[in-house]
Chains A and B, each alone.
Chain A
Amino acid sequence: MMEKMSEENIEDVRVLEAQIENLQAEVAALQRQQQDNHKDITFHLRGHIQDAMSYVCGQKQAGEKEKVLSKLTEEVEELEEDLKRQTQMNGISLNSCTTKTLQSSGRQLVQQLCVSGHCSELVFQVEFQLSEVKKGQRSERTISDLNVVMDTSDLQNFSSFLSGVEESRDLLLFFRTLRTFSDRCDDRRRTFQHFQEKYPSVVSLPGGCRSAVMTLNHPELPGCVLFVHWSVEVSREGRVTPKIELLTKIPEKALQLFPSQAVSGAAEAFQSLLRILGPEAAVESVIMAVSLSQDT
């Protein structure tokens, strides 16, 4: 009787041991797959999102759902508020940020980030590698392999700055400069639009309100045109400088009739006016002059 029992048990043990070996292999494979998944999307599994994950995976009671849902909703609402505040504060709207973990050990974390968004009308996409190395109490963050994509078809002076910034990996300089550049372009657009609305018969914007050129001419003198050329230049160093010039297109006959400096020296005179009055007031004086307005 004892012999028979020991035979059965030996069989059971063998079957169970085989089953266990298979299960262990399955679990190991699943764990590897999970590790790989975590590289593609970083879920910061702490706090309420961890609770939610546990609920969804059937680890919690059905009754817990409401609690988990409300806690997570609250946290998501807070994060939405934070994002709104950050967006407004930074003057930059981000559409997406995807992170891929390339390397993650105890002391070093290397990630590949792709961030896209826009600053006013300027659309960008940046891709770079971010490494974080723990050095004692602090951790040192470094950027490498920076790649910036922007539609620079009408941003000629921006492209030399962009290639410089990719070389020097100055991600923060890129964004500071982008924002300043965008602010100066917005200044120009607002000023141009303001004058077009105020003096519609004299001012026109042939390239639209975002272009660099505003033309001024009196409707009764179609041959005489003044151009206000307002460019926003960006140096390789990232310095943003608005440059405003007055150009004249006056027929030879008119110039012959009025040989005085007032007409031919208009461009230089405008530069002095700029220095004294500033851009808006200087442009307005020119507009007043062109419109032959009685009020000065």
Chain B
Amino acid sequence: MDGASTKGVLSHLSLLEVQARSRKTQPQQPSRVKELKAKAEALMTQRDQLKAEIETHKSLQKLRASMDKQRTHEEEEEEMAEDSDNSQLLRLMARHTQLKDLLHAHDIIGGYNIIKTRKGKGLCISLTTAYNGVYLENYNLEMDLKPTLRISRDNIPPFIPLKSLAEQSNMQTDIRTLLDPLSQHLNAFAARKQQFKLVKELHKSVQVMESNALCSLLVLMFTVPREKTAVLCSLEYTDHTRCLPTRVHFECEDKGLPDSPQWKKNGSLLMETPVHKALITMKKMGDIV
């Protein structure tokens, strides 16, 4: 190759190299600074926003605490120092949270949840059931307000005597005369149902021979350890507002067993204790397998 042209190409190449290198470092620096500045500003805005929210939160907490105290001790409304242009808004916000919490509490403690429907022409009432700390089914009543208060729809199980409870009640003047007995029936039913479910889950050695939809009858088969005798136990729950049996009956090939002091005690136990708990005791005492 020609020496002179090689030199020219090489020097041209090295010039291009220097230019490329300087392009990489120099023009990108201003835009990197711009980028970082933007990021820093965004973070500052975020920080200031968070600080403002935390301050507001603190004020709301203070307001809420004083509002709660006021309600409990029925004190006069405290004169708030009008230090902030936003004090009216903050009071409203604190009041909002207080009301929401109180309404939530009414729901949690099993209150009758009432919603107006159809632009005030109807009501929807919700009844909660629970047993042993576990919330169970909710049941609903839909009612017409005009011309008189009456039930239009419901999802109450058919074996709960809704119609007769409504007839016996004073619901036109005081709807609680319907809702209280209804809730009693529903909660007792839910409790019995839950007890039967727990018997099946916790006591696999006890056979469930029979039960019904209303959970007013439970027939169990026990096995006595050692002799391996079978004892048929019938639990009748004739008072549907209660979740304890009204009658306990044992049947066994060994005719003397039901009259033995041990089994008389078991009979009382089953009358006074929810069945799934009574069975735990009976197992501990060694009376059943």
Q: Which residues of B contact A225 (CB under 8 A)?
A: none
Please encode chain A, from 54 to 66, with 1 for each CB lying within 8 Å of some chain B CB and 0 for all others.
Answer: 0111110000010
Known A-B contacts A33-B54, A97-B104; the reply to A172 vs B130 at CB < 8 A is: yes
A55 to B49, alpha carbons, bound, how many Å? 11
Stretch from B4-12, B88-96, B147-155, B249-257 contacting the other chain: B88-96
Q: C-beta contact mask, A85-116 vs B, less than 8 Å → 1, else 0?
A: 11101111011111100000000000001011
**Contacts A75-B96, A140-B135 given; does A41 touch B60 at CB 8 Å:** yes
**Closest Cβ neighbor of A37 among chain B residues:** B57
Judging by beta carbons under 8 Å apart, are B100 and A23 in contact? no
Main secondary structure of the interface of A (DSSP, over half): helix
Interface: A187 (CB within 8 A): no
Within 8 A of B (CB), among A141-182: 141-144, 146, 168-173, 175-176, 179-180
A176-B60 CB under 8 A given contacts A20-B40, A57-B52, A96-B72:
no
Of B25-33, B198-206, B207-215, the one with at least 4 CB within 8 A of chain A: B25-33
B26, B103, B130: the one within 8 Å of A6 (CB): B26
Binds A, one of B160-168, B176-184, B222-230, B280-288: B176-184
Contact B106 A94 (CB under 8 A): yes
A17 contacts across to B, CB distance below 8 A: 36
Among listed A76-84, A203-211, A241-249, interface-contacting one:
A76-84
Cβ A52 vs Cβ B92 within 8 A:
yes
Q: Is B134's CB within 8 Å of the partner chain A? A: yes
**Interface range on chain B (Cβ under 8 Å from partner):** 35 or more
> Which B residues lie within 8 Å of A41 (CB)?
57, 60-61, 64, 97
Asked if B176 and A89 sit within 8 Å, CB to CB, the answer is yes
Q: Determine the distance from Cα of A144 to Cα of B93 in the docked complex, in whole angstroms.
A: 31
Known: A94-B102, A94-B105, A168-B132. Contact between A69 and B88, CB under 8 A? yes
Known interface pairs A34-B54, A89-B176, A143-B134; 17 further A-B residue pairs with C-beta atoms within 8 A, sorted by A's residue number: A13-B29, A16-B40, A23-B43, A27-B50, A34-B50, A34-B53, A58-B52, A83-B103, A89-B114, A92-B106, A97-B102, A97-B104, A115-B108, A130-B108, A170-B131, A171-B109, A176-B183
Closest 10 CB pairs of A and B: A169-B133, A172-B110, A9-B29, A97-B105, A23-B43, A16-B36, A79-B99, A57-B52, A143-B133, A30-B50
